[in-house]
């Protein structure tokens, strides 16, 4: 499905293409200008700023600000914490959505439709609602704990204000997009291939690892990138549910800015941007490879 959207539609006359090109350019011009003025320009100037220091001799190129970040144990710990929990959240969310997508690929009927709708539900719930719902449900003396105590389990400690709190919310929040992407990927696997494999005696594990997985690689990568980019820069969920320290980079940046140290916040932002750019690069490379293979 995702691929279909980017596929060229038939062949057209040269003149028609030219006309369409101009119309297309005209259409894209306004958002492009907006993007350049409001996003690209401030970003570039900010990134440039982090690589310079203003001293007696005026502005000079320097890596001092980055050196200061990496020399500070607390900052590095925050970065490490952010990356570790982002990857863990990605892994969990991706596995669960793969399971859901597989189920949806091979099931039909009412229940499957309901599960499909349910898996997309988090898409429509704002992060702050999830966070407060989590506090009420999983928090101390919350509904979950009361239910456990009803059945005699008293050893519950709440994940609220620990790294597990935001982790649960991240996984829940991140399900819909990968489910969509993976479902689209699975829809492209032909029934014939699977049936042929079955006829030759392949079990479900073998069908999954040798037929489905190779064809899903791209979708998995896209799914991973989507979750990663969403989680790594998140703010609300770790702010409300996470531990005081270490902090996710989003929360840390906000605090640095709140402490009136915009230059340090900029460095933190650029470092996070670099991380996101690597993953975003994978995503774009995958998309490009898609188009070229056509």
Q: Which is nearer to other proteins, 243 or 280 (CB)?
A: 243
Q: Which of 32, 27, 29, 65 is nearest to 46 (CA)?
A: 65
Say how far apart CA 46 and CA 271 lie, in whole Å.
Answer: 12
Residue 196 or 245: which CB sits closer to other proteins?
245
Residue 259 Cβ, how far from other proteins at the closest point, in Å? 5
Nearest by Cα to 79 from 241, 269, 224, 229 = 269
Question: Left, alpha or beta for 160 (phi > 0: left; psi -120 to 50: alpha)?
Answer: beta
Least distance (Å) from other proteins to the CB of residue 65?
17
**Binding stretches for other proteins (CB under 8 A):** 74, 77, 135, 139-142, 157-158, 160-162, 239-240, 242-247, 255, 257-261
Taking the complex as a whole, how short is the minimal distance between the CB of residue 160 and other proteins, in angstroms?
8
- Here the tokens at position 239 are 């702010």
Q: 139 or 223, CB closer to other proteins?
A: 139
Residue with smaller CB distance to other proteins, 30 or 260: 260
Q: Which residues of 218-256 are buried (b: 16+ CB within 10 A; e: fewer)?
A: bbbbbbbbbbbbbbbbbebbbbbbbbeebbbbbbbbbeb
Q: What does residue 54 show for φ and ψ, rounded to 5 degrees?
A: -100, 115
Closest approach of other proteins to the CB of residue 239, in Å: 6
- Contact at 8 Å (CB) between 87 and 169? no
Strands 58-61 and 52-55 turn out to be antiparallel
Compute how many other C-beta atoms are within 10 angstroms of the C-beta atom of residue 65.
18
Q: How far is the CB of 261 from other proteins (least distance, A)?
A: 7
54: which strand partners?
Answer: 59
Least distance CB 162 / other proteins (angstroms): 6
Identify which of residues 194 and 257 has a Cβ nearer to other proteins in the complex: 257
Buried b (16+ CB within 10 A) or exposed e, 1-23: eebeeeeeeeeeeeeeeeeeeee
> Rounded to the nearest whole angstrom, what is the least distance from the CB of residue 244 to other proteins in the complex?
4
Cβ proximity to other proteins: between 185 and 246 the closer is 246
CB of 245 to other proteins, least distance (A): 4
- Residue 31: CB atoms within 10 A of its CB come to 9
Nearer to other proteins, 8 or 155 (CB): 155
Give whichever of 69 and 239 is closer to other proteins, judged by the CB atom. 239
- Cβ neighbours for 114, distance < 8 A, ≥ 6 positions apart: none
């Amino acid at each position: 499905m995702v691929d279909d959207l980017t596929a060229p539609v038939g062949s057209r006359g040269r003149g028609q293409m030219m006309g369409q090109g101009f119309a297309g350019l005209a259409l894209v011009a306004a958002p492009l200008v907006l993007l350049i003025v409001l996003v690209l320009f401030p970003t570039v100037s900010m990134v440039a700023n982090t690589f310079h220091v203003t001293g007696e001799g005026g502005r000079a190129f320097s890596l001092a600000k980055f050196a200061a970040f990496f020399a500070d144990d607390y900052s590095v710990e925050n970065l490490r914490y952010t990356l570790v929990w982002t990857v863990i959240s990605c892994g969990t969310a991706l596995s669960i959505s793969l399971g859901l997508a597989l189920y949806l690929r091979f099931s039909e009927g009412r229940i499957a439709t309901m599960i499909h709708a349910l898996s997309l539900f988090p898409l429509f719930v704002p992060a702050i609602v999830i966070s407060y719902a989590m506090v009420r449900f999983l928090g101390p003396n919350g509904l979950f704990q009361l239910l456990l105590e009803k059945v005699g389990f008293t050893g519950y400690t709440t994940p609220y204000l620990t790294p597990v709190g935001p982790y649960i919310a991240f996984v829940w929040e991140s399900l819909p997009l990968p489910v969509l992407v993976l479902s689209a990927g699975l829809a492209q696997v032909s029934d014939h291939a699977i049936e042929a494999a079955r006829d030759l005696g392949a079990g479900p594990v073998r069908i999954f690892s040798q037929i489905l997985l190779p064809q899903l690689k791209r979708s998995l990568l896209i799914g991973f990138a989507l979750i990663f980019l969403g989680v790594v820069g998140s703010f609300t969920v770790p702010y409300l549910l996470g531990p005081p320290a270490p902090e996710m980079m989003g929360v840390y940046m906000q605090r640095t800015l709140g402490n009136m140290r915009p230059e340090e916040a900029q460095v933190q932002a650029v470092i996070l941007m670099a991380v996101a750019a690597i993953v975003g690069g994978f995503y774009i490379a995958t998309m490009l490879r898609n188009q070229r293979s056509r």
